[in-house]
Chains A and B, each alone.
Chain A
């Protein structure tokens, strides 16, 4: 714990949070390893794909041995290293306004600079993003930049791009009968996944090994299960692992899924959390308040804020963002690996739908309420990233609906995912101080 406070006193250069678990501390090495893998692939002349997280196509890429570069991850890394501004400014100079997703503008600025220099921008974190052979966007309902970003990036890469159409029923205002639409949604997802396979076969000159894909899908499902089970252990008091670790431990699940390495990682994470629970080892010695990190991307340049919460006795046992897939049953007769992937995608977006239909009408709030109860939560924190309309519009509505069903205190912080210019650390701390007082009163009220 002393390390945490020492880290905070080191001054403004400190951006990353002090982590609790040894497994989370290994993630930085893993990220470097993924970058190194891409550099080595490039040196050998092997193909490389630009990849979006949570696009549900990872298994295909693993089965085809395609080395990937997680472009959102790279922007987050640049932010954490306080080395995003040169790329953001470059993108602005190229004509991309500041209000656009800063994952995207960081990536576009990087691509523009790399093209101009004809080599990696000097000193780029982890040696830079390797030049893509293909760029794999997704036309989803969660984020327009998932296809517009790479489409724009073509001016700097000229790399062939494929957009995979993956749609889910509208999950917010719940009024449709899922039974009436499910079949054609899953069929569409399956066919679009097949379209990606066709594209990659053509571009890479490799054939899909369907048995191998089935094995990868199995491995992904097993990995998701152990990941979920590890996080279930976080219900313990004191909390054995907090959100500042989770924003790291998501890396294998979101950037390296479908690999034995990811499975082993979560197995080890499970064992470590279990050990901490069995021995009553908490994130902080005197845990006073348990908070939920809601549906919000974190400020990657300011993860140390989690340690600030801890200095006030508050921990985050769980978070909605970067959560492992929730368990569900794929019908037993579904054996085709692409169809299994389609089912996984479909459930990912409709998991809370029917419960919400009967209760709050909002699947996110439904999930919040479940987590508040299961993880004994005393307060909810959301972060509004100013350049991300994908996740960060609708938060006021979530808060409004949540307040109709719970009197739990809620804090809405303001900042950004990558652009530190949208962040005021002193004001953030003031807000947190005031919020903790409210949480304290709420908790005392609950106890009495």
Chain B
């Protein structure tokens, strides 16, 4: 079997292949949306978590009759694939309360796509002590539902082993990002996106092995990316496709760090092991997963609020020696769009030029976006 980046490419081109093989071998595959789904619990039940994604190149064929065009285009694409039978290999699906769009999609998916198992994980928006307690109780309900579906009890030891496995995965991904700190980086943003997509489509044990192989291969590279004047960070919403990233990198920039759903967002933190693993998962997902859907209380003035919410982005920018930022927000993503003026103000206040792009899914004319990106890169110099 091919290893490293060649295997990543293989999975990226046909990402459901491995899940279908596992299903044929008797495993149950649980599709899920969004970084807020606690995959540790699914895996602890000996089920295979499989990230649901869209297809940026496939026009909407079925979803228009079910889901309004004012809904998030990414979730519409995911649903469209499901309506066309593209997710028939899933045994079940899990959606977390991330945003209004996913809440609505859960209803439609459950009604129209008949998987054996379905569950909605409710996630609080706030970080109060009551929210942590509630979320822990909700995860207990989730665990119970998985136990009923799988016909087996999930023990504390199994949960902790699963936490270890995913913490290892997060550490490996983090390790890969470190290889992008040097100039030029050893790994491109395009390659990183493919790796993340591959990891999210593969059982954790195999994905970790794959990551180890990729790290070894990339570390051994004598020539990574070409040196370019712009070192960019891309922040914003989910994009599981390389088209935009590739265009940016072909336009004269190296994308060296990101804050994206199919990027660093699900990996830049870990879950603590404890005697109460569900409480640990609840606390980590709620507190550490940086997404505008979670409200963080302002500590005082507006400037302090910006620092509190976006300080980690500036840390990224410093660590990875970034000289420009692209804020990529999919149309109809309300939570990110409400934050956009604040993010721009904060980063520009730190001396970082910011280009805001309103994305769509499927991606519209990439040529039009390219003109804007090129103009931005010229400005950065």
Contacts and interface: CB of A to CB of B under 8 A. Distances in A.
Contacts of B111: 173, 361-362, 397, 401
Interface string A392-410: 1111110011000000000
B31 interface: no
A165 interface: yes
Contacts of A170: 97, 103, 106-107, 120, 122
| Chain A interface, DSSP helix/strand/loop, else mixed | mixed
A163 interface: yes
A148 B335 contact: yes
Contact of A165 (B72, B131, B338, B345): B131
A100 B301 CA distance: 25
A271 B12 CA distance: 68
| Chain B interface, DSSP helix/strand/loop, else mixed | helix
A389 B107 contact: no
B342 A144 contact: no
Nearest to A148: B338
Contact of B126 (A97, A139, A141): A139
Contacts of B298: 154, 160-161
A21 B111 CA distance: 41
A399 to B, nearest CB: 10
A145 B141 CA distance: 28
A422 to B, nearest CB: 10
B341 A362 contact: no
Contacts of B134: 165, 167, 184-185, 187-188
Contacts of A195: 128, 130
Contacts of B335: 144, 148
Interface residues of B, number: 56
Contact of A393 (B68, B301, B337): B68
B174 interface: no
Contact of A96 (B65, B109, B118, B338): B338
A189 B141 CA distance: 18
B159 to A, nearest CB: 20
Interface of A: 94-97, 99-101, 104, 137, 139-145, 147-149, 151-152, 154-155, 158, 160-165, 167, 169-170, 172-173, 175-176, 180-181, 184-185, 187-188, 191-192, 195, 361-362, 384, 386-387, 389-390, 392-397, 400-401
A100 B334 contact: yes
A418 to B, nearest CB: 15
Contacts of B131: 165, 188, 192
B203 interface: no
A278 B356 CA distance: 62
A-B pairs, 9 with minimum CB distance? A139-B125, A172-B107, A173-B110, A191-B130, A148-B338, A95-B341, A188-B134, A184-B137, A170-B120
B101 interface: yes
A169 B108 contact: no
A173 B305 CA distance: 37
Contacts of A96: 337-338, 340-341
Contacts of A141: 97, 103, 122
Contacts of B356: 95
Contacts of B108: 394, 397
Contact of B124 (A139, A145, A386): A139
13 contacts: A100-B337, A141-B122, A143-B100, A144-B334, A148-B292, A148-B338, A152-B342, A161-B298, A172-B104, A173-B120, A175-B110, A184-B137, A192-B130
